[in-house]
Structures are given as structure tokens and as C-alpha cells.
Amino acid sequence: MTRSHQIAVLPGDGIGPEVVGCALEVLDAAEARYGFRTERREYAAGAAHYLETGELFAELEDELRGADAILFGSMGDPRVTPGILERGFILEMRQRFQQAANVRPVRLYSGVPTPISGLTPERCELVIVRENTEGAYVGRGSTVHAGTPNAVAMQESLNTRAGIERVVDFAFRLAAGRRKRLTLCHKTNILVAAGQLWQEVVADLATRYPEVETDYVHVDAMCFHLPLAPERFDVVVTDNLFGDIITDLGAVIQGGLGVATSANLNLDGSAPSMFEAIHGSAPDIAGTGWANPSGAILSLALMLGHLGEADAARAVEAATVEVLGSLPALSGPEMGAATAELGSRIAAIVRDDAT
Amino acid sequence: MTRSHQIAVLPGDGIGPEVVGCALEVLDAAEARYGFRTERREYAAGAAHYLETGELFAELEDELRGADAILFGSMGDPRVTPGILERGFILEMRQRFQQAANVRPVRLYSGVPTPISGLTPERCELVIVRENTEGAYVGRGSTVHAGTPNAVAMQESLNTRAGIERVVDFAFRLAAGRRKRLTLCHKTNILVAAGQLWQEVVADLATRYPEVETDYVHVDAMCFHLPLAPERFDVVVTDNLFGDIITDLGAVIQGGLGVATSANLNLDGSAPSMFEAIHGSAPDIAGTGWANPSGAILSLALMLGHLGEADAARAVEAATVEVLGSLPALSGPEMGAATAELGSRIAAIVRDDAT
Ligand SMILES: CC(C)[C@H](C(=O)O)[C@@H](O)C(=O)O
Ligand SMILES: CC(C)[C@H](C(=O)O)[C@@H](O)C(=O)O
């Protein structure tokens, strides 16, 4: 029997539908070549949909829950108040689907220009694993004497042993299958309570993974080492807020948002995981046909790996990297080929690959 | 009557005494050339002193309070438990002396190599102003069910209107005397309570500085823009934790910790301000004579500016930049000249400058 996977597709706003369209063409090619199939359902979601219907994640939750994976485009529109979609959709999905680990490979592909001088692909091959459901993202804060000169705003970061444990355990397993090095990134000298709990969990789990070496780097120092010495890192595990920050720096190093991807993983099988390029909806270039679909296609590769289609995942990644490396620029007309053409080129390589 | 300033000198550990020694030689030259004098008192402080005496900031507070400024080397030693000196000395000084603004110029000096390809000095001339006394640095956190699988660690960020106001007002004044652009860096879509208070203060004070344009950038996006488009920024104001993080990235861009400096400013005259290079004590190269004294000497320039010695400040900065630009490398034997020689060269330029 052919393997079959149920995919929920959320193209979203701006360039989202354009780049997700390319990813689906590449998925067709991968199915034809690697002998599996997907059942895809597309859902309207994002800023335009919200402006029309007022619907956010809550209205989609039941529909999406049955999917094996979610392929996500991008969301956002200047007409929607900042925070609404972020909290009402993205964070809500991470919470309700318990997508505990946000996994972001920081990999410099050969042929992709990096702004860090002298950096080479061999030196830049790490993965950042970000806790994705708690910390400062719990949204607990309050203000007393609001609107007066005596206003005080309190913002809380909540860290549970269970929440930290599941993501650190995942990071250890990942490291065990790679270069066997796990780095905790935090600010333990200042955020003492949270920092101690993170360090305790890493120390405790380390005994279960004796083959994995662990070390520790403060988040401020990480901003120094990540661009200058990324070869120091294999898997970096960190909290929600620090992860948000250092993964953007990771994207810079690997050549920009165009190639950066992110998996929001549910680790206990209770709900689907979500895969996305980390670029935004880029309303300024939407419709021009000059969006680079590589990020979306690389996130498809992550999704395929997650669904157990390892060969297809490798082929999609390799094809994307091949085409990426041949481009004179990473975005805009300087790419020399429009969005759809790039998608078709990558799909063609996947279809013919090794046949 | 000759202008006179009381300087407290805290050389600290590791390379601290070596680089501060150079700064003092340059200060001698500046005094001779610009007709002011300083009365200097040197204090033992830091890891070695702590290991010997158990003394931290509390024991020095009264002595230091009378100074017009504090020139600080660096602190740290692997034998002291991480956190002790940070909290017991550095944060304690910031608190007790109400050093409300941590000011870090991010300036690429010509001749200094930056790891960001294509970045030029004209494009990199900004200042980051970090709130220095509250936010996540208040050290309020607690753990329930510690040591059990149900442990929960809470860490609080406390933000007062008064605390934000004083640093934002300072940042506006700074921007008004520069390129007239102030950027708030925060994560208002997630840290809603704290973020709103910061935005409110910026909006309110903006009415007092109509000539200054304001904008806003999320801290994760800042990691993107700071290396790739630093010309977007003139003055960036941010909270304590975000400031800690993005200033390290700023140091990368401007060519490394060797040239980065920091002023911890008391804004109401109630206690002295403190000036330091942001590099650490570098125990690995201490005593070799190959530490680069530029950071310490540039922090002296910041201190002179603060004391009203604007001509001397400019001369010390210019001389340091001249020597820096002539070095084949920024640290180690590859510099081609040892610590003391570099100090003497810079002092000589300051002494003879324009005579
Ligand atoms: C959109 C926003 C809520 C989100 C975050 O802060 O986590 C984004 O920056 C990310 O990193 O996925
Ligand atoms: C030493 C440490 C407490 C300090 C901080 O976190 O503020 C340092 O990183 C800095 O930026 O001055």
C-alpha cells in the first residue's frame, strides 16, 4: 500500500500563497519520484481572512487537529494591529497543539552568500532548538497605576520543569544523531531562578546521553560567537525569548530570511507539527513574482523528514540548494528567474533525480 | 584656576590593570596638553580582591561616592562562582549609584576590520542606550516545587514609568544632538504589559522633542537590521536585557570587544558614573603584554567627555583611532606592538597633538 499523509496547507498572506504554491509543485514531484501520496486540504488563514471573518486559530483548531503536518506560508498585513495574528494565531497554535520545540537549522549552503566575511559552509552547520510554549511567551504581565507617573509594568517568564525537560530531551536526541555537542544558551547569572532550572535539567538529562558533550554560553556572548565561530556549535538549546532573538541572528549568518526555515514540533504525537519559512508576508513584493520560494521549499523538506520520507526530504533539500547556488541574487529581479520558474526548476530536479 | 576632577580607578583583574595603566598614561598626556588635572585614587576590586577579603561593592560604596567618575578595568576569574561578581559588584554599583543609562557607541572606525562584509564606517555610527537598573535585571524570581518534577521557576521583569522615562529622555536628548532619530527596540507583541509602557513613554516624550523622529523595531528583527543596515539607526533605546544582547552584536559589527566601550551614567548627579571597556579580564592573555588597550583608552575618552573635557575627549579618541587603524591585527602578537607600547604611542599623539 502506498504511504499516505494528510497535509493541512495554510498559504496565508502576501507572498505566502506564491511560495507555498511552489512548495506544492515540488511536493507533487517528490510524491511521483518517491512513491508516497499526500491528501492536502487548504485553509484560508491570516490577515486577509481575519479582516474578512474575524477568525483566528480557535476557529481552525478542530479542522487542523487531524492533519499529519501543517505547511504554513506567512501571515501579516499592515492593516491588522500588531500582536493580533501573532498571539491569536501563531502563539495559539503553538500552545494548543503543544508544539514544544521550535527547530531552526542554521546552515550555510554552498553558493549562498553570507554577510559574514570568511565564513564557509563547513563551519556553519548547527541547529537551534527553541522552547516554544512558555518562558516570557506565556503572556502574563500586568500594570499597576497605569497611565500615571507611578505606573509599574510587570512581565513574567514562567518555566516548568516538564516544559524544559521535553525540549532539552529532544535536543539531546538530536545532538546524539549529529556531532554530539549540546550547548545551553541562557543568562543564568542574571535570570537566576529560571537559569538554575534550565541548568538542572540539562545536567540531569546529560546522564542519559553520556556520549553528548554539553556546554553553556550566555545569550549576550552567543551574539558574539554565533557569527564569528558558528563551528563551536552543533545543537543549541534555549528558552523561548532567547531563541526568538538568536535564530534571527542565525538567519543572517546563513544568508538571510530567504533560506531560513523553522519546524514547530509537537513531540508527543497529540497534535500536528507545523513547518514554515521564517520570512514574513512581504507585502511590498507580493504579486510581483520575485519572491524566492527556497525558504518554503526547504520547510517542505523539513516536513517530509518529519513524516518519515527521508529520501524525499534529502532530494528536495538538495535540489533547492542546487538551484539556490546557481542564482546571481537571492531576491528580486536580480534573481534572474521568477518565483514560479524557480519552483518548477526545483521540482524538475526532484522528479528526475537519480532516475 | 585649573579644572580638577576626582577619578576613582578600579583596574580589577586579568588584563584590567595592564590596559587601565595605558589609559592613565594617556590621561597624563591629556592633562598636560589640555590644562586640567585629575586626582586619582586607585581601589582594589574584583575577583582576586574578593577571594582575599570577601569584599564586594558594598565595602567600596562610600569611598567611591565622592568621585566625579569611575574608570573601570575588568573583573573576573574562573575561581569565582559565576554570578557573584556580576551581581555583587557590577549590578550593585549600577543600582546603588543609580547608573540609569548604559551607553554603548557602535562605531566602525576606519582601518578597523569588521566581520560584516561590505560594511563601511559611514554606515555604522550609532549609539545604543540601555536601561541599566530594572527590567529582568531586578533579580526577582522564585521556584516552587524546586528539585521535583513539578518545579516551576518564575522570573520577573519589573519596569517603572520613572525608570523608563529617565533613560528615554536621555536618549531623546542624545538623538537631538545627533542625527535626530530615535528607535525603540523591544518585543511589544509578546511582552505586552512592559512593551506598552515603553511605547507610551516614547510617545509621550516625543512631544517634547518634535525635531526627533521615532520608530520601533522588534528585538528579533534588530538582530537582522543591526548587522545588515546599521545606517538605519542613530540612537537606539532599549530595556536592560535586550540591551545586554544587542550591544554584544553591536560590538561584533564594530570589530570586536577590543574596541567596544560602555558608559554607565548616573543621570541626576547623585553618584558617579562608571566607564569601562566591555571586554572581560581575559585571564588567558593576562601578563603576556598582548592585550589591546584601545577599549580602555576609548572608555577614558567617554569619561573625559562626561567630565566636560570635550577637547581632550576628542583628542584621545582620535589618537586611539589613528593607532588602531595602523595595527595589522587587533590582538595578540600579530598586533606587532605590545600593550604598553600602544599606550605610549597613543599618549604621545595626544601630548603633541596640535601643539
Ligand atoms: C511572529 C512572532 C510571534 C514570532 C515569535 O516571536 O515567536 C516570530 O518572531 C518567530 O520567531 O516565529
Ligand atoms: C557582567 C554582566 C552582569 C553584564 C550584564 O549582563 O549587564 C555584562 O554582560 C554587560 O553587558 O555589562
**At residue B305, does pLDDT exceed 50?**
yes
More confident residue, A110 or B243: B243
> What are the tens digits of pLDDT across the range B207-252?
999 999 999 999 999 999 999 999 999 999 999 999 999 999 999 9
What is the per-residue pLDDT for A141?
A: 97
- Determine the average pLDDT of the residues in A75-102: 95
Distance, in angstroms, between B192 CA and closest chain A CA? 7
Answer yes or no: is pLDDT of B354 > 60. Answer: no
The predicted structure's pLDDT at residue A240 = 98
Contact B262, B247 (CB under 8 A): yes
The mean pLDDT of B109-135, rounded to a whole number, is: 96
Q: Which residue has the cell 531563541?
A: A243
- Ligand 2 within 6 A of B349 CB? no
Interface contact flag, A162 B149, Cβ < 8 Å: yes
With cut-offs at 50, 70 and 90, classify the pLDDT of residue B353: low
Kindly report the pTM of this predicted structure: 0.96
Least confident of A297-311, B20-34, B255-269: B255-269
- Residue A149 is nearest to which of B161, B219, B252, comparing CB atoms? B161
3-state secondary structure of B119: coil
Which of these, A56, A74, A60, A72, lies nearest to A13 by C-alpha position? Answer: A74
- Work out the minimum CA distance from A354 to partner chain B, whole angstroms: 38
Counting ligands in written order, the one closest to the CA of A220 is 2
Mutate to test the pocket of ligand 1, among B186, B190, B225 (most ligand atoms within 8 A of CB): B190
Percentage of residues in chain A with pLDDT exceeding 90?
Answer: 92
Please indicate if any CB of chain A lies within 8 Å of the CB of B158. Answer: yes
What's the mean pLDDT when you consider all of chain B? Answer: 96
Please give the full DSSP string across A143-186, using - where no structure is assigned.
EESTTSTT-EEEEEEEEEHHHHHHHHHHHHHHHHTTT-EEEEEE
Q: Which residues of B are catalytic?
A: 137, 187, 220, 244, 248
pLDDT at A26: 98
Q: Provide the residue type at A271 as one letter.
A: A
Percent of chain B with pLDDT over 70: 99
**Domain positions in chain B:** 1-97+271-355, 106-255
Q: Does domain B106-255 have CATH number 3.40.50.150?
A: no
Whether pLDDT at A353 is above 90: no
CB pair distance less than 8 Å for B157 and A158: no
Span from the CA of A277 to the centroid of ligand 1 (angstroms): 12
| Region at A55 (left for phi over 0; alpha for psi -120 to 50; beta for the rest) | beta
Q: How far apart are CA A93 and CA A98, in angstroms?
A: 8
Mean pLDDT, residues B321-341 taken together: 91
Q: Which has more pLDDT, B336 or B51? A: B51
pLDDT given at position B332: 85
Q: What is the mean pLDDT of residues B67-85?
A: 94
Q: What residues in B contact A160, CB-CB < 8 Å?
A: 150-153
Instruction: Answer yes or no: is pLDDT of B355 > 70.
Output: no
**Are B153 and A219 inside 8 Å of each other by CB?**
no
- Whether residue B86 and residue A197 make contact (CB cut-off 8 A), yes or no, is no
Pick the CATH number of A105-256 from 3.20.20.70, 3.40.50.970, 3.40.718.10, 3.40.50.150: 3.40.718.10
CA A291, CA B294: separation in Å to the nearest integer?
A: 45
pLDDT for res A354: 53
How far is the centre of ligand 2, averaged over its atoms, from the C-alpha of B243 (Å)? 10
User: Does the structure show a pLDDT above 70 at A62?
Assistant: yes
pLDDT at A328: 87
Residues present in chain B in total: 355
* Mean pLDDT calculated for residue range B250-260: 91
* Same fold across A1-97+271-355 and A105-256: yes
Indicate the class that CATH gives domain B1-97+271-355.
alpha beta
| pLDDT score recorded for residue B257 | 81
Report the residue from A117, A142, A159 with minimal CB separation from B117. A117
Per-residue pLDDT, A332: 85
| Cell 607600547, residue located | B341
Q: Pick B194's closest partner by Cβ from A115, A141, A158.
A: A141
Among candidate residues A229, A263, A295, A312, the one with its CA nearest the CA of residue A70:
A263
Distance from CA of A111 to the nearest CA of B (A): 16
Q: What is the pLDDT of residue B256?
A: 85
pLDDT at site A355: 47
Residue A82, chain B, CB below 8 Å: the answer is: yes
Question: Residue B60 and residue B47: Cα distance in Å, rounded?
Answer: 14
Residue range B42-53: average pLDDT?
A: 97
Helix, strand, or coil here: A128? Answer: strand
**Tens digits of residue pLDDT in A173-223:** 999 999 999 999 999 999 999 999 999 999 999 999 999 999 999 999 999
Instruction: Tell which wins on pLDDT, A2 or A193.
Output: A193
pLDDT higher than threshold 50 for residue A256: yes
Most confident of the following: A169-173, A285-289, B111-115: A169-173
Asked if A45 and A53 touch (Cβ cutoff 8 Å), the reply is: no
Q: Which of residues 222-261 of A touch B (CB under 8 A)?
A: 223-224, 227-228, 241, 244-249, 251-252, 257
- In this complex, is the C-beta atom of A142 within 8 Å of any C-beta atom belonging to chain B? yes
* Cell digits of residue A89: 494565531
